[in-house]
Amino acid sequence: MEKAYINGMFLTQRKTGIQRFSHEMCRALSSMGYDITVLAPRAIRSEYEPAYKVVRFGVLKGVLWEHFALPVFLWKRHSPLLISFGSPGPLLYKNRIVTIHDVSFYFHPQWFSRLYGLYYRLATPLMARFSKKILTVSAFSKSEILRWLNIPDEKITVVHNAVSQSIIKNTKDKSVPEERYILTVCSMDPRKNLAKTIKAYKRAAIEKTIRLKAAGGGSALFKMHNTPEILDVALGYVSDQELATLYNNAELFIYASLYEGFGIPPLEAMASGCPVILSDIPVFKEIFGDAAYYVNPNDEESIARGMKKVLENPGLKKTLIERGYEKTKEYSWEKSARKLGALINQLQTT
């Protein structure tokens, strides 16, 4: 494979779902011998500790760096292939592969800030049109992209998420927790359905013996009203080591999300030996199959019953844990990187 460049804007952002995908794909490509260079603004976050080549340049930041400094760098080098795993990148740059994780901003614009929603509704058709190939993370997301954007099916390649090494290396870090708790891991984003999850938890009447904890930070990108009930369970943004410990010692993991492109946290929970409860939505059935217990995310009673059933049924918990371990074996960053590498080779030889 000839040299390819990666849009490293993700290195300036907190490591949540999309940024984790970006970082792990770069790590896997580099470790497997693919010739990649990650291009980034000068100020990157220390939490990444990249084990791949990073070139930092420019005085601009954010979207200004992406739309001005980045394309100038590439044009000076005869427009090599650029891969964007997270943010769109320079919109009119044609020699590129771009990733569209989902198109929730079309379906549910009310979940996002006005500026964010407008930017992605305008930018997404352009980046889809001008890119040579599009990556997405599930067959469900591919179907949604095809539904909204007028592009051919063969232009889209599904490349799955997997569990990060930083989580895997701590999966045996089980200890006796000071308290019993149910865990969810989510950004403070309306689609994560945290308010209803909290109501269902209270409806299940288990507060006196088992707490509910929600790990994940907030963002101005989302229209989320943080009520006292949400603030009471919210742990805020946590490090990967703290996250692994939370997974390892939770009684169960719940993810009652209303819409996802993939859903990394349930896979991380499964890798940590935690039984998982999920929303009964198409993408989760596709990715997780029978490795989770499903509930109706719009029905508090259904979520509450799911919590109680998994907590009170040791046999069910054992089955979910065993199936979860097996399910995680289906996904790896190396497998995804190899698929992308083949796609890059195809582009560079045609």
Taken in order of first residue, the domains within the chain and their CATH numbers are 4-162+332-348 (3.40.50.2000), 165-328 (3.40.50.2000)
Model's pTM, two decimal places? Answer: 0.91
DSSP string across 257-288: -S--SS-HHHHHHHHTT--EEEE--HHHHHHH
Lowest mean pLDDT among 98-107, 152-161, 246-255, 333-342: 98-107
Separation of first and last alpha carbons in the chain = 13
| Angle formed by the axes of helices 300-312 and 314-328, nearest 10° | 100
What would the pLDDT profile of 321-342 be if each residue is shown by its tens digit?
Answer: 999 999 999 999 999 999 999 9
Q: How far is Cα of residue 317 from the mean position of the Cα atoms in its chain?
A: 25
Q: How confident is the model at residue 1 (pLDDT cuts 50, 70, 90)?
A: low
pLDDT band at 227 (very low <50, low <70, confident <90, very high): confident
Give yes or no for a contact between 258 and 196, defined as CB atoms under 8 angstroms apart.
Answer: no
Q: Is the pLDDT of residue 171 over 80?
A: no
pLDDT value at residue 350: 67
In tens, the pLDDT along 142-164 reads 999 999 998 999 999 999 999 99
Distance between CA atoms of 143 and 325, rounded to whole angstroms? 28
